[in-house]
Copies of this chain bind each other. A is one copy, B any other.
């Protein structure tokens, strides 16, 4: 391992003042190009890292944004990246993407790799395993090295940084309210296990809506699915002979799978059971019946996240200690998997 050097040692070695070294590292024009190059080469050679963020963020020069997402084969995350790229293109930034594949280790490795010279700052949605482990040291270290991080969607409450989220609770509440408003009373929820923050929040929204309507929640109406990719058998077993008139599914795949399972079990959507999903992806749009769903506006999330990050990268040092949380409004997109309001008021 190379030893760490201090500003003082660099100054001594190159026979210049500490102030010169500091200014040279900040690329100040007060210092001759030759000296700046020498200082930077030396600092690089001896792996010099500043102990504080005294170096203005403005001096970072990769003009690249690192995006780390939990899954790459995932429509929602790719739409968020689409939004990030729009803003990045406008502002002259490149975008580099890595997938953690929901692994804590890969998230740490990717972040370290990109932080060591490939990107100026990060837009990140954390891996399932990170949420489970509750170990966020890699994110905190990256920030303490002066690289801003914007978390989106799967965020961490404990980490203080810019965040872009949707109001999952409110979105789920709106969806459940809609089912109640069209006359549904026996509403099941297909959700994820609790450690997935968005699944938990959406379950909370579902429960909140029921309570506001004075409907007692039933344990047997709640299915918490762990293995998302193989949900069909579980959903089939759960729905078998169940007396329900609506389903709220916390993602698109659960919703589509529920419609198919209901079809096999001889129930019609929306005549017998209304179904609402979450995420307005290609499946929701193109499925027959097309799915009523809560749109997360992934592209908007990406746009807002990129703006927050670039603001921080280009802002004055004095304001970089301010953190914002942007909440993107969800909206209910009504399609054909739910009855129309008032279509069956007496049922």
Residues of chain A having any CB pair with chain B under 8 Å: 2, 37-38, 40-42, 44-45, 64, 72-75, 78-79, 81-82, 85, 89, 94-99, 101, 106, 109-110, 113-114, 117-118, 256, 260, 263, 282-283, 286-288
Copy count, this protein chain: 2
Nearest chain-B residue to A98 (Cβ)?
B96
Closest to A117 in B: B117
Q: Which residues of B contact A81 (CB under 8 A)?
A: 72-73, 99
Partner of A94, one of B40, B78, B113: B113
B78–A82 CB distance below 8 A: no
A263 to B, closest residue via Cβ: B288
Chain B residue contacts of A37, Cβ below 8 A: 2, 45
The answer, among B40, B99, B118, for a CB contact under 8 Å with A97, is B99
A256-B285 Cα distance, complex, nearest whole Å: 11
A-side interface mostly: helix
- In the bound complex, residues from chain B placing their C-beta under 8 Å from that of A101 are 85, 89
- When the two chains form the complex, which single residue of B41, B110, B118 contacts A42, counting CB atoms closer than 8 Å? B41
Is B288 a contact of A288 with CB atoms below 8 Å? yes
Report, nearest first, the 8 A-B pairs whose CB atoms are least far apart: A97-B97, A41-B45, A73-B78, A118-B118, A41-B41, A72-B78, A72-B81, A256-B286
What are 25 A-B pairs with beta-carbon distances under 8 A?
Answer: A37-B45, A40-B45, A41-B41, A72-B78, A72-B82, A72-B85, A73-B81, A73-B82, A75-B75, A78-B78, A85-B99, A85-B101, A94-B98, A94-B109, A94-B110, A96-B98, A96-B114, A97-B97, A97-B99, A117-B118, A256-B286, A283-B286, A286-B287, A287-B287, A288-B288
